[in-house]
Structure 1
């Protein structure tokens, strides 16, 4: 209760402190959420500057206004962030198996009954596809989990 009285008596400066604390917390906590709530607190601090001496009831109105401003700020922030161009020059960077599609490899363990192993660069992969003898060359056509789907070249 003393904290509420402190903020009620501090007026807009309490909102400036809360806003700055939220902006600092955004630097520490991962994600892009607290920045919008912090901006809402700073805006409310600016809006409440002219109403400093109006008493305790203004604090309750400010809480409601803060909730509305935070909601609107988050919606605006989501819209701004969704407009960013997120295309990458390396779209398969973290999808190694998908990045191997189209390459050729050597069968290291014969593919029998649709399963075997292939050697690609310095790694062996589990492969699925038509039967192929050890040493045969295959082309990677897809991936299924950690297994590569192959076809004879």
Structure 2
């Protein structure tokens, strides 16, 4: 299991900060010590907190995302993190363009919940389905942590 994980989506205000927050909470419950962060492929929201409706949906489930701030993924992230998880195929393609030849550490987050049949985490900023996104993120996070042990 990777000890440092970066979650990546488009703007780093919905999916990737939620994945970071959910995974952090679930890892703490399991006593796992992981270095987690999130970033976006775009720079529109750098320095901003997660999107309000996403924060609200997460808080209902006990995940506080308020301390997180958006940032843009950088080439240095490919050296800092053992595993970089993209939320969808477009994010994966963007990551591959940013650091060609380093695909071994890139995976889709949904790879950790194959039972769902989903190949991406739909963007709730556009779909408005914050609860559905969190349902899938929780399943993916649990699958990811199952590979880490108890």
Pairwise TM-score range, normalised by the shorter structure: under 0.3
Which structure: larger Rg? 1
Could you say which structure has the greater relative contact order, defined with CA pairs below 8 angstroms and 6 or more residues apart? Answer: 2
Name whichever structure is richer in strand by fraction. 1
TM-score by length of structure 2 reads 0.24
